[in-house]
Amino acid sequence: MTKSLYFSAIALFAVGITFSCSQTKTTQSQTSNTDFKLGNKQVTVYTTAQNTDHRLTQTETLQFKDFGQPLETQVCVFVDPAKTFQTMVGIGGAITDATAETVAKMPKEKQQEILKAYYDPTAGIGYTLARTTIHSSDFATGSYTYIEENDKELKTFSVRHDEQFRIPFIKQAIAAAGGKLTTYASPWSPPAFMKDTKTMLRGGKLLPEYRQPWADYFVKFVNAYEKAGIPIWGLTVQNEPMAKQTWESCIFTAEEERDFIKNFLGPTLYKNGMKDKKLIAWDHNRDLIYQRASTVLNDPEAAKYVWGIGYHWYETWTGSDMLFDNLRKVKETFPETNLIFTEGCIEKFDFNRINDWSLGERYGYSMVNDFNAGTVAWTDWNMVLDEKGGPNHVGNFCFAPIHADTRNGKVYYTNSYYYLGHFSKFVKPGAKRIISSSNRDALQTTAFLNPDGKVAVVVLNTTDKKLPYKLWINGKAADAISLPHSIATLVL
């Protein structure tokens, strides 16, 4: 499919509804005084749908009419722009070594195509958020750190390794995003000599005598990246702290993470003028998120350093569905602490599944429910991977929204790219989530009031059914249709 057709389909699949309204400052779960007068304003619909050419494609315009009380037999999506909740930070993806190296192997025009596809707010899907790694993860060609072995005083610290691929790509991404890209970083493991297992792989724990040097390592990373021209907005304490992986990993119990934050990492950041860096705890799955959050945040000396609780979507490896209710419990209990989705991807790459529609639907399902649970930022895992789902130094190959075939220079857009775009293209930083509810479980929905006064409503249909419905706001309704296996966004 041509690139123009892909973007056309993107517009169709994300149904974005924008409503002109006077801008009102609202707080979470507060009623706005704004009187939304829809009048004869039109709604522009963008759609992505299976068995069609629609990929974020502008498909139709709708008209609101007086409607009043709907019947139970009438399918509706109800939107209330007067009730606002969390404020959005951004939506984006991770710039790993694998992503940067893969893009660097592509022809120059394809490199620019990929940057534009992700970061251009008009021709692309307008990413505003990025995650990167503190030295190596599994998605690199090998394990490495920024210091020489046994350098306890960090005298040899250098990010020279990242200057070949990752730092240049992040700087290109910042430029493509208009000069600003909210970027945070996560470590997968301390250097081997700092751990009880003496290896960066297969779990292990940080030795007590290296807690301070490891905290200092974070500071040196931030200083080095910012000196290179990459502002660091935030840091997570440890990627997947309860996972003993075959790749870089390190175990922290909830109590160990709490104590590392309050006694070492938090004070070290503050002492080095980094009080403004957003510190994110947990950075693992939704299954244990309440236990982790409560252990850390019930300690005021640890909680004062923590901006948010990060989470992934891989609790499904146990056979569970995604546990969105656990997010709600954290938000209800700790309303001042932010929820941020820090990683998710489809595992076990198979090139024959590149057009599998379920890839994107998993993104849509997660994002609708994550945002409705109170999440303020959402980060995909690798933005770009190669034709093998890598590179990855332990064979943990995965899907990405875009795959770049380094053998022939071709770029493949999976439908995940478009599903993501239905949110990132229409939901801007500073947007506030508003109420959007459906009277049928076949239609899942979330909605946002953007800083410019426009409302974006996303409607997700993962069924085989074509579902006519009414978009209902303040006693007026517009007739819409949700195609089978589709996602949409609407604009007034």
CB of 454 closer than 8 Å to CB of 19: yes
Q: Is 60 a catalytic residue?
A: no
3-class secondary structure, 30: strand
Q: Which two tokens stand for residue 458?
A: 């996303």
Burial class for 173, CB neighbours closer than 10 Å (0-12, 13-18, 19+): buried
* End-to-end Cα distance, the chain: 30
For residues 276 and 264, what is the distance between their CA atoms, to the nearest angstrom?
A: 16
3-class secondary structure, 417: helix
Q: Is 343 a catalytic residue?
A: yes
Total Cβ atoms within 10 A of residue 157: 18
- Using alpha carbons, select from 27, 21, 60 the residue that is nearest to residue 489: 60
395 Rama sector, left if φ>0, alpha if ψ -120 to 50, beta otherwise: left
- Using alpha carbons, select from 38, 34, 7, 31 the residue that is nearest to residue 22: 34
The residue annotated as part of the active site, out of 101, 257, 315, 343, is 343
196 Rama sector, left if φ>0, alpha if ψ -120 to 50, beta otherwise: alpha
- How, if at all, do strands 476-482 and 65-66 pair? antiparallel
Amino acid at 453: G
For residues 327 and 342, what is the distance between their CA atoms, to the nearest angstrom?
A: 13
- Supply angle C-alpha 183, 185, 191, rounded to 5: 160
Scanning the structure block, which residue is given the tokens 């938000």? 331
CB of 414 closer than 8 Å to CB of 354: yes
The residue annotated as part of the active site, out of 101, 240, 257, 315, is 240
Q: Residue 2 gets which letter from DSSP? A: -
Which of the residues are catalytic?
240, 343
